[in-house]
Amino acid sequence: MLNLLIFVGVLSTSVVPTQSEVGQATAVRPPLTFDSPMPIPDIEQWARGTAPDFNDKSKTFLISFWSSSITPARESLPRLSKLADQYRDQGLVIIGVTEEPAGGIQPLLDSPKFLEGIRFSIGCDPDRSTYRQFMSQSWQTTLPTAFLAHDGKIVWIGNPRDAKDVVAEVFAGTWSPESRRKAYEERANASKRATEFAKRLDVVMDRRQWDAALKVIAEMENDPNPLLAREGHLLRVSVLQQNEKTAEALEECDSLVATSKDWEVASEVAKMLASPLFPKPDLSRATVAALRGIAMSKQHEALAYYALAEVQTRSGQRDLAIRSLERALTLADPEEVDLIQERLADIQAPAIPAPTNSQPPANSATKSAPATP
What is the layout of strands, in order, in the sheet containing 153-158?
Answer: 45-48, 121-124, 92-98, 60-65, 145-150, 153-158
Residues ≥6 apart with Cβ < 8 Å to 275: 281, 310, 314
How does DSSP assign 71-82, residue by residue?
HHHHHHHHHHHH
Cα dihedral 270, 292, 262, 347 sign: positive
Taking 50 as the threshold, does the pLDDT of residue 14 lie above it?
no
Beta bridge partners of 94: 62
Beta bridge partners of 96: 64, 122
Closest C-alpha to 106, from 12, 331, 98, 44: 98
Q: Which of 29-43, 245-259, 268-282 has the lowest mean pLDDT?
A: 268-282
Percent of the chain whose pLDDT exceeds 70 = 86
Q: Assess contact for 135 and 141: CB atoms under 8 A.
A: yes
Closest C-alpha to 359, from 347, 371, 344, 373: 371
Taking 80 as the threshold, does the pLDDT of residue 357 lie above it?
no
Please give the pLDDT value at position 190: 87
| Alpha carbons 193 and 183: distance in angstroms, whole number | 15
Closest C-alpha to 38, from 51, 15, 57, 52: 57
Options 3.40.630.10, 3.30.1550.10, 3.30.70.270, 3.40.30.10; CATH for 35-176 is 3.40.30.10
Please give the pLDDT value at position 351: 63
More confident residue, 370 or 150: 150
More confident residue, 179 or 90: 90
Q: How far is CA 240 from CA 59, 65, 253, in A?
A: 53, 36, 11
DSSP state of 158: E
In angstroms, the first-to-last Cα distance of the chain is 35
**pLDDT (mean) for 297-320:** 95
Cα dihedral 129, 134, 139, 140 sign: negative
Taking 50 as the threshold, does the pLDDT of residue 175 lie above it?
yes
Domain boundaries, the chain: 35-176, 262-349
Q: 258 pLDDT band (50/70/90 cuts)?
A: very high
| HSE-up (13 A, CA, CB side) for residue 369 | 4
Model confidence over 199-231: pLDDT tens digits?
Answer: 999 999 999 999 999 999 999 999 988 889 999
Closest C-alpha to 100, from 43, 39, 160: 43
Q: Assess contact for 154 and 35: CB atoms under 8 A.
A: yes
Taking 60 as the threshold, does the pLDDT of residue 13 lie above it?
no
Question: pTM to 2 decimals?
Answer: 0.62
Which CATH topology does 262-349 take? Answer: 1.25.40
Q: How far is CA 294 from CA 129, 283, 301, 305, in A?
A: 43, 16, 7, 7
More confident residue, 320 or 337: 320
Closest C-alpha to 7, from 197, 186, 176: 197
H helical segments located in 297-333: 302-314, 318-331
Q: Containing H/E element for 157? A: strand 153-158
How does DSSP assign 38-94, residue by residue?
PP-----EEEES----TT-TTSEEEEEE--TTSHHHHHHHHHHHHHHHHHGGGTEEE
How does DSSP assign 91-112, residue by residue?
TEEEEEEESS-HHHHHHHHTSH
